[in-house]
A and B are shown apart, each in its own frame.
Chain A
Amino acid sequence: MSVSAAPTTHTSQRPAGAGFGQFVARSHGSGQLVVQPRMGMSDPRRMRAGLLATKHAAATTVGTITVDSYTRVGDHAAASQALADGSDLNGYPIVSQDAGITRGVLDRVAAGDFPVQVRHGAARAQRIVAALVAAGLDATEGGPVSYCLPYSRTHLRDSVLCWRQCCELLMAPRADRAQPHLETFGGCLLGQLCPPSLLIAVSVLEGLFFRQQGLRSISLSYAQQTNSAQDAEAILALRRIAACLLPDVEWHIVLYTYMGMYPATRRGALLLLRESARLAVRTGAARLVVKTAAEAHRIPTIAENVAALETAAAAAAAAARSGAEVADTGIHAEACALVEAVLDLDPDVGRALVRAFSLGYLDVPYCLHPDNQGRSRSYLDEHGRLCWSEVGSMPIRGISAPRGAARMTSADLLMSLSYVQRTFDKKGKSWRA
């Protein structure tokens, strides 16, 4: 089952069948972890080269087109100007770029055996979704909360309206009858220092929002945090809740390799990437969005992306799915309490989410967005587990035992944000010895 051993024959073994969700489901069914890069280039030729390199990597892969930050914030004039000037952007300007050129980028690259997802980070993503549909694609990611609170100034109620329209655009009738796929970024939020129960709750609630808007192929995200036992408990809790609340849609779990300050050493970075691949296999996650060893320093090259995909795939192939019991520290109970409290607010999940944030039932720690109450706080305990110090008005006070807020200094914050970086750089050094 080693995918790294036979790169040339592997591509031909890709399961056929239209649609991003179906491809991931079939790969998961045959024991292959799907690995995915974060790549996005402004030059169409380089974007195509990046997709081809991803497709031909010695791994079961899906492709990524990440849009640039001008396009993400809706400043299409700036993106067009950069295209006209020939200046480099930090991603692919899918709205400003001619749709014919984008179809050319994808021609004989994107297919049933190599679906491509557009990644963007936009709260107001309608034009991006329209552009990806026009280019023949049908998979993207985001969500009314997860692409609003961390990344924008858009009001949450406006973001919910935008995402209703995005869902509608994505479900436009298609000739190939593939099921459009939408991934919630809810299990990532700010990427760091959010205790797992809230990540799970937002992931599930956005998944339910997509389902209510008519989507039938969904993925639920979770970002690797600071303690692998806690992460395993969290992903298993997410699966249990999803199985219960999304019985009638095709869904899978996508794990993100750690999104915060990345190990600065190559060995530390590789150890962290491998640990995320093993975590995915152990917990039954079907897809992994990887990070490269260059991550702490700059935007990675195509070759560095391919190396990360192949490293993750090899680690996954060597890992065993675990049947072992995971200790229950209350993550499942906390996440259920959050999800139930929000669903009780309104039968429409979009309206329920807006009310939940205004009441503080959901409150993301360290989030600066004006629609977030900002009364919750978290900290890392001596084992690197994420815990609540303040829960604000979230209905988990009886389940969680918040420590109370000792004032966090800038040095404390930096220590927490760099915990994984320091831990894995240190592990990398002793590994060599």
Chain B
Amino acid sequence: MKLNNTIDERPCALLTSVASDSHTWNLVYLQLVLEELGFRVTNLGACTPDELIVDESLSMEPELIVVSSVNGHGRAEGIRVVRQLRSCPELAVTPIVIGGKLGICGAADATSLRDAGFDAVFEDGAAGHSFPSFVRSSCARAA
């Protein structure tokens, strides 16, 4: 961590993949998008174990958690992760979203992801409202 005299007052977003997903371009891109929306971003990088996501979420208390996965295992692992996050009282109302290529055979079942605890699902190629507009409406402090 860098020492800095000025306090960074930007809202904080936690950006993560899932444990089995090694892709990172999606994370590099989303970090820039979130920064442009006014967030300070902690980018956990590739292959993030469940416990790391939970630990970082609890210690950072982010105003937004973004899960991005493109290897086709996002549905199964996303459900597993969001259940653990939602079981922590501190994270009960934190906006948590998931997006990417979430199923092996095309579109994953967005309803099951929402039922498990995600506030929004951004399936690659699926119609729906955009990620920036969701962020602006859900996080009061976003740009």
Contact = CB atoms under 8 A, between A and B. Distances in A.
Main secondary structure of the interface of A (DSSP, over half): loop
B22 A73 contact: yes
Contacts of B84: none
28 contacts: A69-B21, A69-B72, A70-B73, A72-B22, A73-B20, A73-B22, A75-B19, A88-B104, A88-B105, A90-B71, A151-B46, A152-B22, A153-B47, A190-B24, A190-B25, A192-B25, A260-B25, A366-B28, A367-B24, A368-B24, A368-B27, A368-B43, A368-B46, A369-B45, A410-B32, A413-B28, A413-B32, A414-B29
Interface in A170-198: 190-192
A121 interface: yes
- Which of B22, B33, B43 has the most CB atoms of chain A within a 10 A radius of its CB? B22
B29 A417 contact: yes
B104 to A, nearest CB: 5
Q: Which 6 A-B pairs have the closest CB atoms?
A: A410-B32, A151-B22, A368-B45, A69-B20, A410-B33, A90-B72
A298 interface: yes
Interface of B: 19-22, 24-25, 27-29, 32-33, 36, 43, 45-49, 71-73, 104-106
B32 A408 contact: yes
Given A75-B19, A151-B46, A413-B29, A298 B106 contact: yes
User: How extensive is the interface on chain A, given as a class?
Assistant: 20 to 34
A299 interface: yes
Contacts of A192: 25
Interface of A: 69-70, 72-73, 75, 78, 88-90, 121, 150-153, 190-192, 260, 298-299, 366-370, 408-410, 413-414, 417
Main secondary structure of the interface of B (DSSP, over half): loop
Contacts of B20: 69-70, 72-73, 75, 78
B105 A153 contact: no
Nearest to A298: B106
B109 to A, nearest CB: 14
Contacts of A150: 22, 24, 46
Nearest to A154: B47
A152 B28 contact: no
Nearest to A70: B20
Contacts of B21: 69
Contact of A298 (B33, B49, B105): B105
B78 to A, nearest CB: 14
- Which of B46, B71, B105 has the most CB atoms of chain A within a 10 A radius of its CB? B46
Contacts of A90: 71-73, 104
Nearest to A147: B22
A153 B71 contact: no
